[in-house]
Amino acid sequence: MSPEMRIAIQRMSRDEQLELLDEVWSLVRDDALPLPAPHAAELRRRVAAADADGVIGEPWAQLRDRLRSGT
């Protein structure tokens, strides 16, 4: 990134910076980025382990309340 662009971004308001970030992310998100083979293998391993475990976790509201209570 050029120094001029960096300065222009720093001069933007926080809302303008977030809008710019959203716009850039939408451009990047539209591109299909390749998933490296080791990452894909690790994801498959983790999914298989989660499926074999049978534990599905806990509902968000229950987890949130537990975290808020500190227990």
41-51 in b/e form (b: 16+ CB < 10 A) is eeeeeeeeeee
Q: Which domain holds residue 19?
A: 3-69
How many domains does the chain contain in total?
Answer: 1
pTM, to two decimals = 0.43
Q: Does the pLDDT value for residue 4 go beyond 90?
A: yes
Position 2 pLDDT exceeds 80: yes
- pLDDT value of position 51: 86
Q: DSSP per residue over 8-67, as a string?
A: HHHHS-HHHHHHHHHHHHHHHHTS-PPPPHHHHHHHHHHHHHHHHH------HHHHHHHH
pLDDT in tens, 17-60: 999 999 998 888 766 778 899 999 999 999 998 888 877 788 89
Question: What pLDDT does residue 9 have?
Answer: 96
Radius of gyration of the chain measured on its C-alpha atoms: 21
